Amino acid sequence: MLYGIDIWGTDLIGKGKGKKENGWGARGFGKKVERVQRLATILVTGGMSMTATDLLNASTNFLPAQLQICHLCHRATLQMAMLSPPHPLSSALAGAKCNCKRHKSPLHRLLAEFSIDPQTMEKIIPLWHYPKWQPDTIIDTKDDEAEAVLQDILAEEEEEVCLYSDGSGLEGGISRAAVLRRGGEKKKSLRFYLGKAMEHTVYEGELVGMILALELLKEE
């Protein structure tokens, strides 16, 4: 029912603001959406027609229609704001941030309503490979913990140098560490605190942990 709401329903997020505040036309259509959602909740719960709408929404875990519209539009706006530069919508979003007074597009309305600036969003450019691409490294994982421990012991006996790295989040921070072992004994280690979890990810910590492991190997 609300498919593509971020395109055709941008006026609905201004319901109750009045015509001068981009709320024109939202009240009547918003009520129609509420009636349709109410019919759906009655069918789901098997409730009576006189049941309160708030009770039906709570029983079916539905948001009120107006909040649901705002939620979907806000989520779509955030997803578009985080698009990396190669995406076709990236340049359109940069232009939609300007203060447009006439002929506003849905992008203009969404960015203005939720005060979202795409320039302040972190852009993570995805990596891609051809379908036939194969990694250069050998990845071997064990489902059983005992087998993994045995494999680790055998590796330390067979190999002269073993490297271990890990990155994780703890108490709101992201950190990583790397250890170099020779002959079953710890020789060197490196640790690094990347920053707060609000600014960094665990995956970033894992990659930095690998870099630390390579630095240990380089110094060896």
In the chain, domain spans: 5-114, 145-219
pTM above 0.85, yes or no: no
pLDDT over 70 (residue 40): yes
Mean pLDDT rounded to a whole number for the chain = 79
With a cut of 80, say whether residue 74 has pLDDT above it: yes
**What does the DSSP 8-state code read for residue 129?**
-
For 62: left if phi > 0, alpha if psi spans -120 to 50, otherwise beta; the answer is: beta
* pLDDT tops 50 at residue 18: no
Q: What is the mean pLDDT of residues 74-79?
A: 87
Cβ count near 47 (within 10 Å): 16
Phi, psi of 105 (to 5 degrees): -90, 170
Helix or strand or coil: residue 163? strand
